[in-house]
Amino acid sequence: MMHGKYSYISLQSSENQVPPSMQKDGNIELQPISNPASPPSYLPGFIPAAPSFWRRYFAGWRFGVTRSAITTGITFLFLLLLLSVMWDIFGVEKGGGTLAQRKCSLIKAGDILIHLALNVLSTLMLASSNYCMQGLCAPTREEIDRAHAKRTWLDIGTQSIRNLKAIAFGRAFTWAFLWVAVLPLHLVFNSVFFSTKQANQYAVAVVSKDFFNITTWEPTESNSSPSLFDTRNETEQLYAVKDERAIPQLLRDARSLHQNTTHFTTLSSTDCINTYANGFLQDLGNVVIVTESQNSTDPLLWSQYPERHIVSNKRHNDPYAWICSDLDSYPCLKHGLLEKTDSGKNWTVHNHPVSHCVAQKTTNTCSLRFNMWLFLWVIVFGFLQTIVMCVMVWQAFRSNIHTLKTMGDAIASFLGRKDETTAGMCLVSDDSLRKEGWKESYDPQVYQSPTKVRWSASVPPPQWWSSHALTACFTIIIGIGLYFSLRVPKSSALFSGLGRPDINALTSVTEDSSGSSTLIPTVMIANLPQLGFTFIYLAYNSLFSRMLSAREWSRFSIRRKALRISGVPIGSQKSSRMLSLPGRYAVCLIMFSAVVHWLLSQSLFLVWVDGVNVRGEIDERDAIVRLGYSSLGILIVVILLTVALAVALGFGRWGKLEGGIPCGGSNSVIISAACHLPPGQNGAEFGTVMWGETVKGHCSFGVDVREPMVGREYH
């Protein structure tokens, strides 16, 4: 094809024109000839035979898949190195290790930061895998041609299950392998690190007002035993730690040290209720309840042994029943008690009006732990993902197979070599194709006045409704859990904050044990919502990819644009680091995903509590490994998911596709039908193109186009 000074050789328009060497590396040449003149505007000018190093190796799909492999590989190596260092420094016992034992406030802050980091890493790995999976399920031109010959279509520029049956087995298998490798990460990633806390067992002594001034009465095991006052039933006594020395020692220490703020602290009746109506007591331990009663001969009015939180796998459902001893309330709840006693002013214990409490201070200690088996699980699947992505990087640089990953790839391919199976279909839309099927032939169609079409029209109805139904069902299930957590009277999880265990907001998965046989099943259940939300992320990623591809498609009928391709750009073409989802949308979706994953980790979580006896020793018979939940966290997740559902529906409802081009920018048939160039415009794919009337009675992408005429027939 001659244009003044330049001879333009198209690689795809005619196989006879292309030397074999040029077909191999995908380059084109413009050869200067005599009679200089300016080339037509649609030609990109002189294009060098070899693209620059940057454009060849750091553009489009090559850059994207390399970025994904580096992200996943660095994460894998970091986790492997971290496990090796922790194993060497902290050691492993019973499948786990302890990183730190500090004040609970410090451990809690560290736990939050670690889980934020874990969710960022897992979300980046998920986004990288999704990018690679979208590239894997993209079809080649030959696969599209075979599908069109069977009068069916494939999807372009989006994650598509439909394409898997049409693409090569190797790519389909790799896609499935990557899918299987990415999902298990979200079953355990958030629980590799977890915090454990210690809960104090404590003795209770109710004394008269003059107890601290009496010198004639000395506490002993015989006159201080709880058996002298015990009014509890056998079930309550099941949890008692019958340490006969605990009460006398408490009374002696309280009498001699109650004014020593290092060892004891004085609490008002209200503060006493707020502190001890707590299933997991940490800062304080044994307590002396000082009443308004007077008894100079026998100042000890009632006492209680320390109690375990769990015995024989049965959780203590009413651990502070003594606080509500004079109320008909089971179980004893802080908020109901404060209401019934006028914020503690009218509080009585076994018919003795309470003046104040003297509580013994204890060491507040929590631990930050890790589980080796869960860590190895993450590392193994991270390794598998890294290997797959490294192979994909190698193929991206070495393989001659070119898949059409973006709409621009498909347009460039069909402009370079037209597809005769779609001739005469330039005004057929994706919607009519899906409803009426692909007809054997099409009569000329009348061009209608352009109307603004909703974004949702670009998404097949089954995908549109299934994506929203998945989100709605997930939100409803989470909401049902919230309803029951608030409906059960004993639950105060709404007031316990995010990720903070409450003894009344626990459920068991298996028997209580600190071993992996209990830990791992509990972790799996705790992370099921993480897995569910992963499906939502992938569904909405595909949904927005289709809608935004449709927006990009519609704009070709408004203004001239360069094609956005995944390969090495030539001429005016632009490389695309993101396949379909623009960067700002992708970043917003990733950030939202990371936040929700973190909130889910703080809403349903592993609870490990070690009971500590009155001598400060861990009671191995009093260890709880349970599934904890936070109603506050669940409530926030429900709100965010509802907002996300509303936003997605809003984009689909109020987002408008402008221009007169038929909707269907991700349908291979619609793209092909819009790419039947008239003679004389070979090589247009390397310049800036626009959709419109190219010759009378025909619409197509091209260079010299005008707006179609309303009421005219086109084919």
- Look over the chain and give the mean of its residue pLDDT values, rounded to a whole number: 80
Element (H, E) at 147: helix 141-149
CA 30 – CA 27 distance, rounded (Å): 10
Which among 230, 276, 343 has a CA at the least distance from the CA of 503? 276
pLDDT of residue 44: 44
Residue with tokens 């320390």, as numbered in its chain: 306
pLDDT of residue 56: 61
Confidence of residue 481 (pLDDT cuts 50, 70, 90): confident
CA 99 – CA 83 distance, rounded (Å): 11
Between 185 and 414, where is the model more confident? 414
Kindly tell me if the per-residue pLDDT of 496 is higher than 70: no
Kindly tell me if the per-residue pLDDT of 587 is higher than 50: yes
629 has which bridge partners? Answer: 604
**134 by DSSP, 3-state: which?**
helix
Q: State the DSSP string of 309-354.
A: SEETTEE-S-TTGGGGTTS--SS--HHHHHHHTTTTTT-EETTEEE
- Average of per-residue pLDDT across 457-483: 89
pLDDT of residue 543: 92
- Average of per-residue pLDDT across 200-226: 85
Confidence of residue 1 (pLDDT cuts 50, 70, 90): very low
**521 by DSSP, 3-state: which?**
helix
pLDDT of residue 494: 56
Domain ranges of the chain: 1-47, 56-195+373-702, 196-367
Kindly tell me if the per-residue pLDDT of 463 is higher than 80: yes
- Report in angstroms the alpha-carbon separations of 269 from 273, 275, 574: 6, 10, 72
Burial of 105 (0-12, 13-18, 19+ CB in 10 A): exposed
Between 109 and 313, where is the model more confident? 109
Kindly tell me if the per-residue pLDDT of 9 is higher than 50: no
Confidence of residue 29 (pLDDT cuts 50, 70, 90): very low
pLDDT of residue 55: 60
pLDDT of residue 596: 92
Read off the tokens for 277.
Answer: 């109506």
Q: Taking the chain, what is the end-to-end CA distance rounded to the nearest angstrom? A: 27
Kindly tell me if the per-residue pLDDT of 151 is higher than 80: yes
Least confident piece of the model among 119-133, 501-515, 628-642: 501-515
Q: DSSP E strands: which ranges in 81-207?
A: 96-102, 193-200, 204-207
- Average of per-residue pLDDT across 235-246: 70
pLDDT tens, 526-560?
888 988 998 999 899 989 989 998 898 998 988 89
Burial of 176 (0-12, 13-18, 19+ CB in 10 A): middle
Number of Cβ atoms within 10 Å of the Cβ of 183: 16
Q: Which amino acid is at 287?
A: V
Kindly tell me if the per-residue pLDDT of 389 is higher than 80: yes
Number of Cβ atoms within 10 Å of the Cβ of 195: 24
pLDDT of residue 567: 80
Give 613's contacts (C-beta < 8 A, 6+ positions apart): 201, 241, 243, 306, 619
pLDDT of residue 7: 35
Least confident piece of the model among 179-183, 505-509, 524-528, 597-601: 505-509
- What share of the chain in percent tops pLDDT 90? 18
Confidence of residue 191 (pLDDT cuts 50, 70, 90): confident
pLDDT of residue 49: 43
pTM beyond 0.75: the answer is: yes
pLDDT of residue 336: 67
- Average of per-residue pLDDT across 477-493: 67
pLDDT of residue 28: 34
Quick check: 269 and 349 in contact, CB under 8 A?
Answer: no
pLDDT tens, 51-70?
556 666 666 788 888 989 99
- Report in angstroms the alpha-carbon separations of 411 from 581, 666, 673, 674: 18, 11, 10, 8
- Average of per-residue pLDDT across 152-174: 90
pLDDT of residue 139: 94
- Average of per-residue pLDDT across 94-121: 85
Between 521 and 265, where is the model more confident? 265
Burial of 430 (0-12, 13-18, 19+ CB in 10 A): buried
pLDDT of residue 198: 84
Between 435 and 491, where is the model more confident? 435
CA 206 – CA 348 distance, rounded (Å): 10
Confidence of residue 239 (pLDDT cuts 50, 70, 90): low
CA 275 – CA 219 distance, rounded (Å): 26
Give 585's contacts (C-beta < 8 A, 6+ positions apart): 544, 548
